[in-house]
């Protein structure tokens, strides 16, 4: 019997090995990464306005500026930008020497920024903004978005970077409760009067929850092109795209015509589509005073009903407490208990007949409605030319950008940022992602490549094997039970 069980176990192990080998072609890219050179800080393949990998602590200290500002109009104890920043390796799947920027503190305002190598002017080249975010402790409430700051001499001191510092673009993830967002906001300048208005991108249709809770790094990419088109990617997958002209709220261009705010509805304007028929007369037999319900005369008191017996009586066994003070507590009365004579009776006390619907009840009479012969339709103010109208056909031509920064509040600590690149060349951004995020993603996939994971992958790629796997997995269990049964019989 023992030999039989051993054979079964060997067969079972052979099937498991087959499962592990079944996914061999799918995992080829992961296994090829087994022997790789030590980590090396990335270098952009072309020009970048910013290419930050945070691997050099000295460079970080020399180029990034912590805000010393205070927020306006809030309590003094939370007004300061005193959140803590650090450069650290990832908590999970760390690579020796690969550092990122980490927002350490929670429930604190935190802001940090750096200058671009030179200002970006929106002319004839696209703008690409790309960076990694890892919510290492998940995210309860807070953002991880970048702000691209306006070139403005009045706000050139990055130590005073705060929420009111003018920005051109805000891009990145944000979450509070069950509200998951991927912001793309740009500030548009009115060509008539120079006022600035925020334009919010339409929401992505894809679900965003996993990016906030899976505790893995994710790559966020924004591409804005001179033809006014845009793309938003997460992990190199397009989640949102459209036009600066058509897909923002409020729209870039105001309507040509608006309702006249001074127009008033004429007093003789009748907007009632239906009116009571003035010729209708209430029928003579219509009784408005008839009650909704009347007594059901067919309802007869059940036999054995004790009309002269009350449903409850004073408890004959109750005794007045010794400390009862009639002056302070009032005259003592024994508590009520159910009348024992009513226990076997259908009821006690005066019998009340049930009520029924009154067949004569009709309620208040109202004349039937007819079409209003004087109906003029729903009144609307007349349309006039919009005095604030303009037609900006090139919203891509935004204000120039001189710096980039994080200005955040988060209820979860240890938000990890890495590999920020701002460039005007899509190929440079793609190559930067290949040299950073994609290498990290393959490494994480390999480290997560457990026995169970490979078995599940194999089953997913070959669904027809499910039944076979079930049979083979059940064999050792059945064999062991049979073995125990035989042992018991022998005893």
pLDDT digits (tens, 9 = 90+) for 375-402: 999 999 999 999 999 999 999 999 999 9
Q: For the beta carbon of residue 273, count every other beta carbon within 10 angstroms.
A: 12
Distance CA 391, CA 190 (A): 10
CATH class of 48-259+394-446: mainly beta
pLDDT in tens, 130-170: 999 999 999 989 999 999 999 999 999 999 999 999 999 99
Specify the pLDDT at position 6. Answer: 52
Q: Point out the residues of the chain with pLDDT beneath 70.
A: 1-36, 450-473, 483, 485-491
Pick from 93, 166, 98, 175: nearest CA to 136: 93
* Torsion, CA 275, CA 279, CA 284, CA 289, rounded to 10: 30
Question: For 74-113, how does the pLDDT look when each residue is reduced to its tens digit (9 = 90+)?
Answer: 777 788 999 999 999 999 998 899 999 999 999 999 999 9
Question: The tokens of 360 are what?
Answer: 């004569």
**CA–CA separation, 309 and 321 (whole Å):** 28
What is the CB neighbour count within 10 angstroms for residue 70? 15
Distance separating alpha carbons of residues 293 and 361, to the nearest angstrom: 8
- Check if the beta carbon of residue 301 is closer than 8 Å to that of residue 346: no
Domain boundaries, the chain: 48-259+394-446, 453-485
Reference 265, options 381, 351, 422; nearest CA is 381
**Residues contacting residue 147 through CB under 8 Å, at least 6 positions apart:** 165, 167, 169, 170, 404, 405, 406, 407
Contact in structure between 380 and 130 (CB atoms under 8 Å): no
Global confidence as pTM:
0.69
């Amino acid at each position: 019997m023992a030999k039989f069980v051993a054979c079964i176990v060997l067969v079972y192990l052979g099937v498991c090995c087959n499962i592990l080998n079944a996914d061999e072609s799918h995992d080829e890219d992961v296994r090829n990464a087994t022997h790789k050179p030590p980590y090396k800080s990335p270098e952009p393949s072309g020009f970048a306005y910013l290419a930050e990998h945070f691997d050099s602590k000295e460079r970080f200290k020399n180029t990034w500026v912590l805000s010393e500002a205070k927020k306006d109009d809030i309590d003094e104890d939370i007004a300061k930008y005193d959140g803590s920043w650090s450069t650290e390796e990832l908590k999970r799947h760390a690579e020796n020497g690969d550092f990122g920027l980490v927002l350490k503190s929670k429930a604190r305002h935190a802001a940090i920024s750096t200058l671009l190598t030179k200002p970006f002017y929106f002319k004839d080249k696209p703008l690409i903004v790309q960076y990694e975010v890892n919510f290492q402790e998940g995210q309860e409430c807070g953002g991880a978005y970048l702000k691209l700051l306006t070139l403005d001499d009045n706000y050139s001191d990055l130590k005073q970077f705060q929420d009111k510092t003018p920005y051109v673009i805000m891009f990145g993830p944000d979450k509070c409760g069950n509200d998951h967002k991927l912001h793309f906001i740009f500030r548009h300048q009115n060509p008539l009067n120079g006022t600035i208005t925020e334009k919010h991108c339409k929401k992505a249709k894809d679900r965003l929850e996993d990016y906030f809770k899976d505790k893995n790094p994710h790559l966020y990419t924004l591409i804005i092109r001179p033809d006014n088109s845009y793309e938003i990617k997460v992990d190199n997958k397009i989640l949102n795209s459209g036009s600066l002209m058509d897909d923002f709220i409020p729209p870039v261009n105001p309507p040509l015509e608006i309702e006249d705010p001074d127009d008033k509805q004429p007093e003789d304007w009748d907007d009632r589509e239906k009116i009571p028929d003035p010729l209708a007369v209430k029928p003579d037999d219509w009784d408005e005073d008839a009650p909704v319900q009347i007594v059901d005369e067919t309802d007869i008191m059940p036999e054995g009903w004790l009309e002269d017996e009350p449903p409850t009586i004073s408890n004959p066994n109750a005794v007045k407490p010794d400390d009862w003070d009639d002056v302070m507590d009032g005259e003592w009365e024994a508590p009520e208990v159910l009348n024992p004579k009513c226990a076997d009776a259908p009821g006690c006390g005066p019998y009340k007949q049930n009520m029924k619907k009154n067949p004569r009840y009709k309620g208040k009479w109202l004349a039937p409605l007819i079409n209003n012969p004087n109906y003029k339709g729903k009144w609307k103010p007349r349309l006039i030319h919009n005095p604030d109208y303009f037609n900006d056909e090139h919203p891509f031509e935004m204000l120039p950008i001189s710096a980039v920064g994080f200005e955040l509040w988060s209820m979860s600590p240890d938000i990890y940022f890495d590999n920020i690149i701002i460039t005007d060349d899509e190929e440079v951004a793609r190559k930067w992602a290949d040299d950073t995020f994609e290498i990290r993603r393959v490494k994480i996939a390999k480290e997560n490549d457990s026995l169970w994971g490979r078995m599940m992958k194999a089953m997913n790629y070959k669904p027809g094997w499910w039944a076979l796997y079930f049979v083979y997995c059940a064999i050792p269990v059945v064999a062991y039970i049979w073995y125990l049964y035989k042992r018991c019989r022998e005893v």
